[in-house]
Amino acid sequence: MKPELLSESAIQQQLTALPDWQVEGTELVKEFRFASYLAGIEFVRRVAVLAEAMNHHPDLFVGWRKVAVRLTTHSAGGLTRLDFELAGQITSVEAAPVNLT
């Protein structure tokens, strides 16, 4: 069973719990910045582990000291609770310290 699309009011309500995330079309997006390139790569690794566990995979775009995350539920054609659940987990990953030694 595919997840249900969220209404515009439900999307706006969910956004209140996700600072700096924005809706662009049918995607939930945020750009994360890091002190180093490797810190961004470690962030991507951590996000990949979460995404695999949820079987819900974001588009990740890696740049120099930044990573853009784009979430949508392709099977539903837009935003569902899965996107906001994963965004919340990704926000927690961002706050976790990174040890690159």
Q: Supply the pLDDT for residue 2.
A: 80
The pLDDT confidence band at residue 93, using thresholds 50, 70 and 90, is: confident
Mean pLDDT of 26-36: 97
pLDDT tops 80 at residue 97: no
> Could you give the CA distance from residue 80 to residue 91 in angstroms, rounded to a whole number?
17
pLDDT, one tens digit per residue, over 12-23 is 999 999 989 999
> Could you give the CA distance from residue 1 to residue 17 in angstroms, rounded to a whole number?
27
Rounded to a whole number, what is the largest CA-CA distance in the chain? Answer: 45
pLDDT tops 90 at residue 68: yes
For residues 44, 46, 48 and 53, what is the CA-based torsion angle, rounded to 10 degrees?
A: -170
Q: What is the CATH superfamily name and number for domain 8-95?
A: Transcriptional coactivator/pterin dehydratase (3.30.1360.20)
CB 67, CB 60: distance < 8 Å: yes
Average per-residue pLDDT in the chain?
94
> Could you give the CA distance from residue 7 to residue 96 in angstroms, rounded to a whole number?
31
